[in-house]
Amino acid sequence: MNLSKSTSSSIAIAAFSLLLLSCNQTESSKTTATKKVDSTGSKTKEYLSQPLVSHIYTADPSAHVFNGRIYVYPSHDTATGTPEDDLGSHFNMMDYHILSMDSVGGKVTDHGVALDIKNIPWAGRQLWAPDAAFANNTYYLYFPVKDKQDVFRIGVATSSKPEGPFTPEAAPIKGSYSIDPCVFKDDDGSFYMYFGGIWGGQLQRWNNNSYDSTKGNRKADEAAILPRIAKLSADMKSFAGPVKEIQVLGQDGKPYTEKNNDKRFFEGAWTFKKDGKYYFTYSTGDTHNLVYATGTSPYGPFTYQGIILNPVEGWTSHHSIIEKDGKWWLFYHDTQLSGKTHLRNVKVTELKYNDDGSIQTISANK
């Protein structure tokens, strides 16, 4: 704007701007971030959505629709004073709180502590991102936690209610390792667990399902570490077969190397199916994108397609995607409430597709 214009012109422009703002406020949803202005009139940070809850810090939301209601299974961030490092030791979660709502935008209920680390016999430290499933008239909560040897394993707990409380099994799932379990139910009723995360998630230490504590992160020109999949048994508490790697390929049909860190898998897998197509979505971690790849089988291979969510405030992204009331929703987190990477807050926004099934990229803040 030319600041030399007359005062009357400035007033007219300001009035017109206010009129436009008033009109825009009648819209119930946006695809771009909402601007905020502080008391001095300066533009502050912009956010597409607001936190679902603000009385606790939440992250890594796994959302599901059970009995017509949305249940969100997040991590529960707490300020424990654990020193920060590249392996995520400062993400030192102690329990899970489950949130629920009738619909997006509705009142959110915090159901309290659903599972505490002190009640998991084999657990050592760090309850990271969980997921949930329903089968056998039972609700299952899947969670990663370091065992007493400081190795991440995946455990399972059960409840008669989606909000818990949950009772954990006495030992982790045999053959499980690393972090970020995502349980996907296919059309034929089969359940599959996707999991894995590099760096702090320790996936780089596993080769052919064997653990080697000396293994470090891959070098730039080495093959990128691949996510894992295992079919679940009918009891939902064990794997029906061996853990397998999932190929994530570029548009050229070639697997990624570690230097392709804006596209290769890092953590936070979430799989769903739409119009007969499998969508494998995940976080690129150190480049902070949420991205997706598609395939024709739950085992892949999956071909990279693009970005779902551009980087948000905070070190990385972790998400889930559900369909409810004829719309698709992306649950994600950022650090709006605290500004600290280990104290995050869960949010939700609408996810939109193009006619060819591709996902429209979202920018949640600027």
Give the tens place of pLDDT for each residue, 267-298: 999 999 999 999 999 999 999 999 999 999 99
pLDDT at residue 80, rounded to an integer? 79
In the set 77, 267, 313, 334, the catalytic residue is 267
pLDDT tier at 324, thresholds 50, 70, 90 = very high
pLDDT of residue 18: 37
Let me know if 84 is a catalytic residue. no
Over range 328-335, report the average pLDDT. Answer: 98
pLDDT at 178: 98
Domain presence at residue 35: no
Q: Look at residue 22 and tell me if it is in a domain.
A: no
Going by pLDDT thresholds of 50, 70 and 90, the confidence category of residue 4 is: very low
- Is residue 67 pLDDT above 80, yes or no? yes
Q: Decide if 195 contacts 228 (C-beta within 8 A).
A: yes
pLDDT at 86: 78
- Domain count of the fold of the chain: 1
CB atoms within 10 A of CB 365: 18
Query: 250 pLDDT exceeds 90?
Result: yes
Residue carrying the six token digits 């052919």? 208
Residue pair 198/215 in contact (Cβ under 8 Å)? The answer is: no
On whether residue 183 sits in a domain, the answer given is yes
Residue 275 among the catalytic residues:
no
Judge whether 155 lies within some domain: yes
How far, CA to CA in Å, does 100 sit from each of 97, 122, 156, 266? 10, 29, 20, 28
CA proximity to 195, closest of 246, 250, 127, 123 = 246
Sign of CA dihedral 23, 25, 31, 37: positive
pLDDT of residue 37: 47
Given a contact cutoff of 8 angstroms between Cβ atoms, the answer to whether 145 and 120 are in contact is yes
CATH assignment of the domain containing 203: 2.115.10.20
* Residue 175 reports pLDDT greater than 70: yes
User: What single letter denotes the amino acid at residue 315?
Assistant: W
- Give the pLDDT confidence of 15-60 residue by residue, as tens digits: 434 333 334 333 333 334 444 544 444 456 889 999 999 999 999 9
Among candidate residues 275, 348, 340, the one with its CA nearest the CA of residue 313: 340
Structure tokens at 131: 């997921």
pLDDT of res. 316: 82
State which residues form the domain around 227.
45-351
Task: Kindly state whether residue 122 falls inside one of the protein's structural domains.
Answer: yes
In a domain, 38, yes or no: no
The letter for the amino acid at 187 is D
Position 15 in a domain? no
Active-site option among 60, 77, 163, 313 = 60
Task: Tell me the pLDDT tens digit for each residue of 103-141.
Answer: 999 999 999 999 999 999 999 999 999 999 999 999 999
